[in-house]
């Protein structure tokens, strides 16, 4: 695999992303929501006499749980199928480049664009928090940024998997939105309702929590922000008792798995779809 080819394809994807009106719309929406939420959080923290990053970071995390997976899934879902529809992908694959280089180069370019967008939106929010609330716990906010980027890249990988086999952009976006709804609905509210009806044990509840990347992100965020996992109910308490200090590394490994695991599956589907 040629690093120069990967870089060339990746840079082309970044430039295309920065010119894409949907990407620009996502960036503007993410920036506005992040800044607005940070402003409200700082005002609330000041009123309660607890300014700083820690309290506001925990609140900002709830916004990230909804918007970042949606952005990652939809960007990834359009990445390949859009070029398949306009026949540009066919032109690319006819060049002296490998299919793996095309696939990985596109992912790296989309990942760089997504990271830039998240860094920009969260960076502006962080500056606002520092000015209005003081930088007493900036480490907590930086941890939240890194976790959010990991979640976004994981959802981007899932979106790429969808884009690898979807015949049309509309179908890919439909699948991506359905997955987003499933992840959200199977989050806290879904698990709490299922646990009450099916009388799940804490171990079963924690296992189901580990399957959902949004729940893993929330567990990791609460844990790294040095809040008590007991606020997450029986699953949080059981996680502390079962894994102790190793829980943080387990959660980070699960998030990293969501970034890595969908890519080889997506590439296999990509080859089956575009090399028949």
Distances from the Cα of 13 to the Cα of 19, 105, 120, 145, 170, angstroms:
10, 8, 18, 23, 20
pTM of the prediction? 0.86
* 3-class secondary structure, 149: helix
The domains of the chain are located at 3-274
Cα dist from 91 to 37, 97, 275, whole Å: 44, 11, 13
The predicted pLDDT at position 191 comes to: 54
Tell me how crowded residue 112 is: count the other CB atoms within 10 A of its CB: 15
Collect all residues with Cβ–Cβ distance below 8 Å to 270 and sequence separation of at least 6. 80, 99, 103, 164, 165
Output the pLDDT for position 45: 54
pLDDT value of residue 111: 92
The answer to whether residues 66 and 29 touch, using CB atoms and an 8 Å cutoff, is no
pLDDT at 257: 93
d(CA 115, CA 269): 25
pLDDT of amino acid 161: 93
The pLDDT, as a whole number, for residue 9 is 83
Per-residue pLDDT of the chain (276 residues; tens, 9 = 90+): 778 888 888 888 888 777 777 778 888 888 888 777 777 766 655 544 444 455 566 667 778 888 899 999 999 998 888 888 888 877 777 777 888 888 999 999 999 989 988 888 888 877 777 776 555 566 777 888 888 999 999 999 999 999 998 888 899 999 999 999 888 887 655 455 455 455 556 666 777 778 888 888 888 887 776 555 555 555 666 666 667 677 788 888 999 999 999 999 999 988 887 665
State the Cα–Cα distance between residues 215 and 232, nearest whole angstrom: 10
């Amino acid at each position: 695999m040629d690093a120069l080819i990967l870089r060339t394809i990746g840079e082309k994807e970044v430039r295309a992303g920065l010119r894409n009106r949907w990407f620009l719309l996502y960036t503007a929406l993410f920036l506005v929501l992040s800044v607005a939420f940070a402003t409200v959080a700082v005002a609330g923290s000041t009123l309660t006499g607890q300014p700083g990053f820690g309290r506001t970071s925990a609140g900002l995390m709830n916004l990230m749980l909804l918007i970042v997976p949606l952005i990652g899934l939809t960007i990834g879902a359009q990445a390949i199928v859009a070029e398949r529809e306009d026949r540009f992908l066919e032109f690319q694959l006819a060049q002296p480049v490998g299919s793996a280089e095309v696939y990985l180069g596109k992912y790296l370019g989309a990942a760089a664009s997504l990271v830039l967008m998240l860094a920009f939106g969260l960076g502006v929010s962080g500056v606002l928090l520092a000015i209005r609330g003081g930088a007493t716990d900036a480490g907590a906010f930086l941890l939240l940024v890194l976790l959010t980027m990991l979640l976004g890249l994981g959802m981007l990988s899932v979106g790429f998997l969808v884009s690898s086999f979807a015949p049309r952009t509309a179908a890919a976006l439909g699948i991506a939105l359905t997955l987003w709804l499933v992840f959200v609905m199977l989050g806290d509210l879904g698990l709490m309702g299922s646990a009450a009806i099916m009388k799940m044990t804490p171990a079963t509840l924690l296992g189901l929590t580990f399957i959902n990347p949004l729940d893993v992100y929330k567990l990791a965020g609460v844990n790294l922000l040095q809040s008590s996992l007991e606020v997450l109910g029986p699953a949080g308490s059981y996680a502390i008792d079962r894994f102790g200090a190793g829980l943080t590394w387990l959660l980070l490994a699960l998030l990293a798995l969501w970034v890595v695991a969908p890519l080889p599956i997506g590439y296999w589907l990509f080859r089956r779809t575009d090399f028949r």
